[in-house]
Amino acid sequence: MTEPHICLIEDDPIMGESLVERFQLEGFKVDWYLRAQEARSAILANDYAVILSDVRLADLDGDTLYLQMLQDGYSLPPFILMTAYATVERAVSMLKQGVRDYVTKPFDLSRLVESVRELTANHDANTHVSDENILGVSTAAQKLAQLVPRIAGRATSVLITGESGVGKEVLARLIHHRADPANTERPFVAVNCGAVTPTLAEAEFFGFERGAFTGADKQKRGYLEQANKGTLFLDEVGELSLPLQATLLRSIQEKHIRRIGAERDIATQFDLVCATNRDLGSMVKERLFREDLYYRINAVTLHVKPLRDRPEDVYWLAQRFISAMAQRLNEPPKSLHPLTQLRLQEYSWPGNIRELHNRIEHACLISPNPILVPSDIFSSDWQRTASQLASFPGEDAALNTYQDACERLYIEEMLIRNEGRITETAKALKISRKNLWEKMKRHNIEAGRLTTVTSTPLP
> Does a structural domain hold residue 214?
yes
Burial 340-359 (b: 16+ CB within 10 A, else e): bbbbbeebebebbbeebbeb
> Does a structural domain hold residue 183?
yes
Asked whether residue 403 falls in the same domain as residue 421, the answer is yes
Relative to beta strand 157-161, strand 270-276 is parallel
Per-residue pLDDT tens digits for 429-440:
889 999 999 988
Cα–Cα distance for residue pair 41/181, rounded to 1 Å = 7
Nearest to 270 by CA among 195, 208, 189: 189
> Rounded to 5 degrees, what are φ and ψ at 67?
-65, -40
Asked whether residue 156 falls in the same domain as residue 299, the answer is yes
Asked whether residue 15 falls in the same domain as residue 36, the answer is yes
| Boundary of a domain, candidates 305, 339, 357 | 305
Asked whether residue 149 falls in the same domain as residue 253, the answer is yes
pLDDT at 396 over 70: no
| Boundary of a domain, candidates 70, 101, 125 | 125
Do 65 and 36 form a contact (C-beta atoms < 8 A)?
Answer: yes
Asked whether residue 300 falls in the same domain as residue 155, the answer is yes
Do 233 and 273 form a contact (C-beta atoms < 8 A)?
Answer: yes
Asked whether residue 162 falls in the same domain as residue 242, the answer is yes
Average pLDDT over residues 332-354: 84
> Does a structural domain hold residue 20?
yes
Cα–Cα distance for residue pair 30/39, rounded to 1 Å = 12
- Can the peptide bond before residue 106 be classed as cis, meaning omega within 30 degrees of 0? yes
Higher pLDDT, 383 or 208: 208
Q: Provide, for the chain, the percentages of residues in helix, strand and coil under a 3-state DSSP scheme, each rounded to the nearest 5.
A: 50, 15, 35
Asked whether residue 395 falls in the same domain as residue 322, the answer is yes
Do 82 and 51 form a contact (C-beta atoms < 8 A)?
Answer: no
Do 53 and 39 form a contact (C-beta atoms < 8 A)?
Answer: yes
> Does a structural domain hold residue 444?
yes
Average pLDDT over residues 253-266: 90
Asked whether residue 193 falls in the same domain as residue 266, the answer is yes
pLDDT at 454 over 50: no
β partners of residue 336: 372
Nearest to 392 by CA among 403, 383, 382: 403
Asked whether residue 121 falls in the same domain as residue 23, the answer is yes
Binned at pLDDT 50, 70 and 90, residue 10 comes out as very high
Three-state secondary-structure class, residue 339: helix
> Does a structural domain hold residue 457?
no
β partners of residue 275: 160
Cα–Cα distance for residue pair 164/161, rounded to 1 Å = 9
Amino acid identity of 429?
L
User: What are the start-end ranges of the H helices in 277-373?
Assistant: 280-285, 291-297, 312-329, 338-346, 352-366
> Does a structural domain hold residue 459?
no
Per-residue pLDDT tens digits for 135-181:
887 889 888 988 998 999 899 899 999 999 999 999 999 999 889 88
Binned at pLDDT 50, 70 and 90, residue 132 comes out as very low
pLDDT at 131: 45
- As a dihedral over the C-alpha atoms of residue 417, residue 419, residue 420, residue 426, rounded to 10 degrees, the angle is -50
Cα–Cα distance for residue pair 239/276, rounded to 1 Å = 9
pLDDT at 242: 93
Range of the domain at 354: 309-450
Binned at pLDDT 50, 70 and 90, residue 399 comes out as low
Assign residue 265 the CATH number of its domain: 3.40.50.300
> Does a structural domain hold residue 455?
no
Please state the domain count of the chain.
3
Per-residue pLDDT tens digits for 308-320:
999 888 888 888 8
> Does a structural domain hold residue 65?
yes
Assign residue 392 the CATH number of its domain: 1.10.8.60
Per-residue pLDDT tens digits for 201-223:
888 999 898 888 877 788 889 99
Distances (CA, A) of 176 to 48, 153, 435, 455: 22, 8, 54, 45
